[in-house]
Structure 1
Amino acid sequence: MKSIRSGIARGAALAAGLAFLSVPALANEFVKYEVTDGEIAKSLTGQAGDPEAGKAAMINRRGGNCLACHEVSALSDQPFHGEVGPSLDGAGSRWSEGELRLIVANSKAVFEDTIMPAFHRTEGLNRVAEKFQGKTILSAQEVEDVVAYLMTLKDE
């Protein structure tokens, strides 16, 4: 019963757009970036992302956990695709690499009312546990990897 209540509390926190940060994997240092014309044009690390590592980060339930909210047909072998966020099919055709980088790093900069967490942001968050303050959900390289994977999701 306790795990059901815990799951409900987490769901309520996510629905309220709160940063529910209790995952040990959240220990990444913030890397500053510049937003210009609605995108982060430059890599956060100076290196290209690895699409396979990005796929792994997206399906990691203790990391990116993108499938909790989004459906991705290319990941149909994974269970429990969400319906809260839009399908990510064709994301690489809908947005540029820099736009996707900003959406992953700080989705509220693009979609003001979204409940999607900012995966690479440390300020302006709500209810962050003290041990996670100043840390990001995804590392700068993981952001690059997720973006690289999203860029492979093109409309046919």
Structure 2
Amino acid sequence: MKHIAWAAFALILGSSAAMADVVKPGDVTFDEGAVPAPLTGQAGVAEEGRKTFISRKLGNCLACHENSEMKLEQFHGEVGPSLDGVADRWNEAELRGIIINSKNTYEGTIMPGFYVGEDFPRTAKQFKGKTILTAQQVEDVVAYLKTLKEQ
């Protein structure tokens, strides 16, 4: 029983430490559109990023971007550029910056900022002041995009 209590305590302590490392949307530092520093103290997980990329309720990236790696998924968009080989075109900091707020890189883009707080217009009351993705989901999507290299 003591082992279970200590394990639970360690889990809570670890969760608190991980939460303390999250950069809030208003505190993100951009360098010419890029965001060099990760938003969390935890590395992104490519497989989780892939799920977010596909999810119509989260990233919904596939609605605007073609991606051959997901050719079996439905409804590839053609609004944004193809993401085939994206890891060869942009580095990790640039990818992170584009996902957080692409308007810092591409003036006039219709791509939403996925980790923007109060200054992002959200029409539905339940979403006002909330980001589209969490900081960890941004890191996960970055990790996934880093796997998309030219064949």
Q: Same fold (TM over 0.5)?
A: yes
Out of 91, 100, 124, the residue aligned to residue 105 of structure 1 is 100
Structure 1 residue 77: Cα displacement? 1.4
Out of 110, 128, 137, the residue aligned to residue 132 of structure 2 is 137
Out of 60, 64, 71, the residue aligned to residue 66 of structure 2 is 71
Instruction: Report the counterpart of residue 118 of structure 2 in structure 1.
Output: 123
Runs (5+) with no aligned partner, structure 1: 1-28
Structure 1 residue 127: Cα displacement? 4.5
Structure 1 residue 132: Cα displacement? 1.5
User: Match for 2:98: what amino acid?
Assistant: I
User: Match for 1:64: what amino acid?
Assistant: G
Aligned Cα RMSD in Å? 1.5
Q: For residues 95-129 of structure 1, what are the alpha-carbon distances to aligned partners after superposition, in whole Å with 9 as ceiling and x for unaligned?
A: 01000000000010101111001000013323533
Instruction: Report the counterpart of residue 41 of structure 1 in structure 2.
Output: 36
The 8 Å contact of residues 70 and 86 in structure 1, kept in 2 or not, is answered as yes
Q: If you compute each CA radius of gyration, which structure gives the higher value, 1 or 2?
A: 2
TM-score (norm. length: structure 1)? 0.77
Query: The residue matched to 1:61 in structure 2 has which SS?
Result: coil
Runs (5+) with no aligned partner, structure 2: 1-22
Paired with 2:67 and 2:150, the residues of 1 have a C-alpha distance of: 12
Query: The residue matched to 1:112 in structure 2 has which SS?
Result: coil
Matched, 1:54 2:49: yes
Paired with 2:91 and 2:118, the residues of 1 have a C-alpha distance of: 25
Structure of greater relative contact order (alpha carbons < 8 Å, 6+ residues apart):
1
Equivalenced residue count is: 128
Percent sequence identity over aligned pairs: 54
More helix as a share of residues: 2
Q: For residues 21-46 of structure 1, what are the alpha-carbon distances to aligned partners after superposition, in whole Å with 9 as ceiling and x for unaligned?
A: xxxxxxxx944311124311011002
The 8 Å contact of residues 122 and 128 in structure 2, kept in 1 or not, is answered as no
Which consecutive aligned stretches of 4+ in structure 1 deviate over 6 angstroms post-superposition?
none
Paired with 1:80 and 1:45, the residues of 2 have a C-alpha distance of: 31
